[in-house]
Amino acid sequence: MISPLIEQMFAEIFCVNLRDLRETKFKLLFIMKKEAIKLWPELEWIKDKDLREKTTKTWQLALERSVLTPDDLKKIPFTLLCGPDLKVTFMDHKRSVVHIARDAGNTINGMYKGELTCNMDVVIAGAILADVGKLIEYVLDENGKAIQGVYGKYLRHPFSGVSLAEECGVPAEVCHIIATHAGEGNMVKRTTEAYVVHHADFMTFLPFKERLTV
Ligand SMILES: [Fe+2]
């Protein structure tokens, strides 16, 4: 978020009226919130209002800071490893991971006699946020293609995602899912919810990267 002092400096440097600047910022925030909700109908599945709002706010913040627009997210391939012709888009894959994680969590809660349980709000928020950091990991090259930027090389999306989410007050059990959903998480113990999101993500990624065909 931009501090009032920086806002004032910006307004003075660029000779913009401070009230107009704040109004524009407010409008931008409002637009990005609407875009985040449009991208993610699954936000409605989070029952806890506070967690739902913090999850939405994290996407809103990422959209504000990203060079990628919501339209780009519906067009760019979900992984850079499978070539430019892949039809499955970033949003197709991210949303499918949330659906698979929800189905897996519900099955665990329904069939394991309480000996293994899954907090559904945590699993859904974690799945929605797992790749939010990609919005600041990627930049656009001279041909408009999404590539990993310098910041993204230093801090891959599990790290930048946690940074964005913590800024929006997302609790540690959800940040843990963002932090451990990819290969980095193999170095630490995962919660049940983090295992669910990790496997939902990787079971639909690895066969695109490499699969046995006979
Ligand atoms: Fe990821």
What is the domain partition of the chain in residue ranges? 40-209
Q: How far is the CA of 108 from the centre of ligand 1 (A)?
A: 23
Tokens of 71: 């339209």
The confidence score (pLDDT) of residue 15 equals: 61
Scanning the chain, the segments in alpha helix (DSSP H) are 4-13, 18-39, 49-65, 70-73, 90-111, 120-129, 134-137, 150-154, 157-167, 172-180, 192-203, 206-209
Distance 198 CA to ligand 1 centre (A): 9
Q: Measured in angstroms, how far is the CA atom of residue 23 from the centroid of ligand 1?
A: 35
Asked if residue 87 lies in contact with residue 75, where contact means CB atoms within 8 angstroms, the answer is: no
Residue 26 CA, ligand 1 centroid: distance in Å: 30
| Ligand 1 geometric centre to CA of 146 (Å) | 15
Please determine, for residue 72, whether its predicted confidence score (pLDDT) is greater than 60: yes
Concatenating the DSSP letter of every residue in 122-138 gives HHHHHHHHTTTTHHHHE
Task: Using the mean position of ligand 1's atoms as its centre, give its distance from the Cα of residue 195 in Å.
Answer: 13
Per CATH, the architecture of 40-209 is what? Orthogonal Bundle (1.10)
CA of 179 to the centre of ligand 1 (A): 9
Ligand 1 centroid, distance to 182 Cα (angstroms): 6
CA dist., res. 107 & res. 118, Å (int): 9
Question: Cα(138) to centroid of ligand 1, in Å?
Answer: 12
pLDDT at 124 over 60: yes
Ligand 1 centre to CA of 92 (Å) is: 14
Q: Measured in angstroms, how far is the CA atom of residue 130 from the centroid of ligand 1?
A: 6
Burial class from Cβ neighbours inside 10 Å (0-12, 13-18, 19+) for residue 173 reads middle
pLDDT for 31 equals 85
Backbone angles phi, psi at 140, to 5 degrees: -100, 135
What is the tens place of the pLDDT at every residue in 1-15? 556 666 666 666 656
Determine the distance separating the centroid of ligand 1 and the alpha carbon of 6, expressed in angstroms. 33
**pLDDT at residue 144 greater than cutoff 90:** no
Judge if pTM exceeds 0.85. Answer: yes
Q: How far is the CA of 112 from the centre of ligand 1 (A)?
A: 28
**pLDDT above 70 as % of the chain:** 87
**What's the CA-to-centroid distance between 106 and ligand 1, angstroms?**
22
- Ligand 1 centre from 115 Cα, in Å? 29
